[in-house]
Chain A
Amino acid sequence: MAGVFLSILPTMQYTLLALSSPSDGQCLLTAVRVADAIIRRGHQLDTVFFSDAATTIGLATLCMPQDEIAIQRQWQRLAADHAVELVLCVASAIQRGVAGTDELPSDSKLHPTLAEGFRIGGLGQLISATHAADRVLTFGG
C-alpha cells in the first residue's frame, strides 16, 4: 500500500538557498517554516545553504530582541531534529565576522564565532546540493 501512496505523492529532494539577514525582514523565518513543512510532508531536505547577508544566522553572538522570535534557535532545532546540514558560504561568512576554528589562523588569539549547528563550507556544497535536488527554493533574493 505504501507503494501506491508514494506513487500519488512522490518524495522530492529539496535544497534551500537563503540570502537575507536574520535581522532584516521575515525571510529566514519563512524559510525555516518551509523547511519544517517540507520534512513534515515526508520530503527530503539535506542541505540549507546560507550566502551573503544570511550567513549572520550562524553568528554565535546573535541575539534577537526578546519580543521577537529566536530565529537562530529554530534553525538549530531543525538541524538537530532532522539532520539537516546548515552550511554558511565561507566568503560571505568571514566578511561578516562568522568564523569557525578552521577559518582562524592557528596562532590567532581570537575566538571562533560560529554558532552550534552551523557549518562553514564552500560554493561547491551548494553546487552538489542543487545538483542532487528536485526542487531548489531561494529565500531573500
Chain B
Amino acid sequence: MQKKQLLFVLQHAPLGASLARAGVDTVLAYAAFDQPVSVLFSGAGVLQLAPGADCQRVGRRDLRRMIDSMPLYDIDQVFVDAVALSAYGLSHDLPHFVKAVDADAIRELHARCDHILSF
C-alpha cells in the first residue's frame, strides 16, 4: 500500500499552550516512522519560527530547536504562509529550509496531500 501524504498545519503560538509542542512532536514522530510529511506554519504558528526565544526561562523546551532539527528527520517540505509571516513582522533568522508560500501554493499543497492534521 502506498504511503499517505500528510500535511501538518501548525497554527498556534509556541508558548501559552502545549498544542504547538504537541504538533511538532507529532510531525517528528511521523518522520521517524518514515512517513512522508509536509509542514505548513500559518497564523500565530509562524511565531514558532521566530529566533531567539529563551524558552528555558519559562520552563519550556526550545521549540525552535526542535523545528531546526527537521532536516535531520528528512523533512524537506516545510512551508510558511507569507501573509502571516509579514503580519507578525518576521523576516530575519528563520530556519533556512522553510519556504514562504502564497495562497495559491497553499491551496495546491492542500490538494496534493491525502490528509491534513492541524495543531
Contacts and interface: CB of A to CB of B under 8 A. Distances in A.
Contacts of A91: 25
B54 to A, nearest CB: 22
A82 interface: no
Contacts of B1: 131
B115 A133 contact: yes
Interface residues of A, number: 19
B3 A131 contact: yes
B3 A51 contact: no
Contacts, number: 53
The binding surface of chain B is classed by DSSP as mixed
Interface in A111-130: 123-124, 126-127, 130
Interface residues of B, number: 22
23 contacts: A19-B19, A19-B119, A51-B22, A51-B26, A52-B22, A89-B22, A123-B26, A123-B30, A124-B29, A124-B33, A126-B29, A127-B30, A127-B35, A130-B4, A131-B3, A133-B115, A136-B116, A138-B116, A141-B19, A141-B23, A141-B117, A141-B118, A141-B119
